[in-house]
Amino acid sequence: MSGVNDMSLSESGKCIEVKQVTKAFGKKVVLNDVSLDVKRGEIFGLLGPSGSGKTTLVRLITGLDEPGSGSISVLGEQMPKLGILSRIGYMAQSDALYGELSAMENLQFFSSLYGLRGHLLKERIGEAAELVKLTDDLKKPVHEFSGGMKRRLSLATALTHHPEVLILDEPTVGIDPVLRKSVWKELDVLREKGVTILVTTHVMDEAEKCDRLAMIRDGKVIALGTPAQLKMDSGSETMEDAFVAYGGGQA
Amino acid sequence: MDTFDYFGSVLVGFFSFFFVFLIAGVSFLRERTTGTLQKLLSTPLRRWEVVAGYLLGFGLFTLLQATLIAWYATSVLGIALEGSIFLVLLMNLLLAVTALTLGTLMSAYAQNEFQMFQFIPLVVVPQIFFCGLIDLQSMPEWLQTLGRFLPLYYGADALRGIMLRGDGWDRIWVDALALLGFSLLFATLNVKALRKHRRI
């Protein structure tokens, strides 16, 4: 993808840097001294049960919220920063789509917020729709879409502006296994193109597909490394066993 | 004075206000509950641009609605119109914009559509009392001044003047200014309220 090859910002090869981040809502501490780095061009997974603080961390990285203490930088810039948002593609846990509009209109609307117009807009929409295999359904209103189609359309709306960083909050939740596979294939394609991808999941076998991952529980990173490394170090056969071994308790 | 004309002139403003308040409130609430607001704020869009966009988009439709209500009231129902129809439209539009900004602001404090409707007795009903439909002569004076803090008071005052007495701009500009002030205040608070969803 264009713009992605610009390596000037990657002095350290780090795309996302989270340093000792703590975040509390009222008295409830949601993130407790979280530190992690995401390298350029990798798929990084945040693995943890619901309520572990994944979504909060992702929202902080996207700049939707500010950490209580600690710092977060994306592409070399301290977050939150408005200018960086155009280089991030964000897909929230809920399908943020307008049901009354067609898939095409949704894509046009969200893409135009990134300043895409005219010919380029059309080209990018065609490209994104192709990637998530919705080309034939673009004219349909979104309320007629199945859950899986909505999920893929959500992904497409995060792609049209060619983000350098893709942040996906539970992209495969509620999708059948076949589609889940195809979504992961799409993520692989994007990585090949140089996009850095941060993905949250609570599905253990999905975590295996990440280059590196952080296990999160109760707002703390309990383990960090490649899937193979994590399994080996904990002497576990599966990701699930590894999660339990690292103090994840009932996974 | 004809009672129907008297009530009619005020109701023209009231309906503009009421419908826009509800529709704007519920649709902004839906942006929040469906997650599209968060999606909007994950783009480089500024907070004030979101509020301004809502004003522009809805403003267009409220202008249409105001025209329809004013036309229906004067042409079909035959409510008196001594002054200029354009001034009626202008006041209706200003009332609608106030309702729009107030509706979206209130929606920030509602969790669902049902709670949005609960704002009706809180926000809309008091305005009916104080907009001149009901004679408040016997009400304690300090309570009467409460009306001065409600947008519909000014809208109704101007509409009565235009439609019944044929008032011109020189008589209603204070009302227009008041409504503009309310709109600006509510819109600014809106931009502030959005901070809850994105800090910058």
**Model pLDDT for residues B20-48, shown as the tens digit of each residue:** 888 888 888 888 888 888 888 888 888 89
Token reading at A104: 């095409």
Say yes or no to pLDDT of A3 above 60.
no
The span from the CA of B82 to the CA of B164, in Å, is: 6
Secondary structure class of A214 (helix, strand, coil): strand
Q: How far apart are CA B102 and CA B108, in angstroms?
A: 10
From the centroid of its chain, how far is CA A195?
11
pLDDT at residue number A5: 45
Decide which of A248 and A109 is more confident.
A109
Angle between helices A147-157 and A118-131 (to 10 degrees): 140
pLDDT confidence tier of residue A249, bands split at 50, 70 and 90: low
Name the pLDDT band for A12 (thresholds 50, 70, 90).
low
**Poorest-pLDDT segment among A10-14, A97-101, A190-194, B137-141:** A10-14
Strands (DSSP E) contained in A26-127 are: 28-39, 43-47, 69-74, 77-78, 88-91
The pLDDT value given to residue B73: 85
Q: Which of residues 146-175 of A touch B (CB under 8 A)?
A: 157
Does pLDDT of A8 surpass 50? no
* Listed residue (A158, A184, A14) closest to A91, CA to CA: A158
Question: What are the structure tokens assigned to B33, written together?
Answer: 């509950």
Hunting for tokens 């909060």 — which residue is that? Answer: A56
Contact residues, B window 14-53, toward A, CB-based 8 Å cutoff: 34-36, 38-46
Pick the range with the lowest mean pLDDT from A4-8, A44-48, A81-85, A154-158: A4-8
pLDDT given for residue B55 in this prediction: 87
pLDDT at A9: 46
Q: Touching check for B197 and chain A: CB below 8 Å?
A: yes
CA gap A172, A184 in Å, rounded: 9
On average, the pLDDT of chain A sits at 83
Q: How far is B65 from chain A (nearest CA, A)?
A: 21
Q: Is the predicted pLDDT of residue A205 greater than 90, yes or no?
A: no
Contact B36 A83 (CB under 8 A): no
pTM score of the predicted model: 0.81
Distance CA A133, CA A138 (A): 10
pLDDT by 10-residue block (mean), chain B, 200 residues: 78 86 88 88 88 87 86 84 84 89 88 85 84 76 80 85 83 88 92 81
Which residue blocks in B108-168 are alpha helix, DSSP H?
113-117, 119, 125-130, 141-144, 151-160
Lowest mean pLDDT among A17-21, A116-120, A144-148, B138-142: B138-142
CB contact under 8 A, B35 and A88: no
CB contacts, 8 Å: B44 with chain A: 82-83, 85-86, 113-114
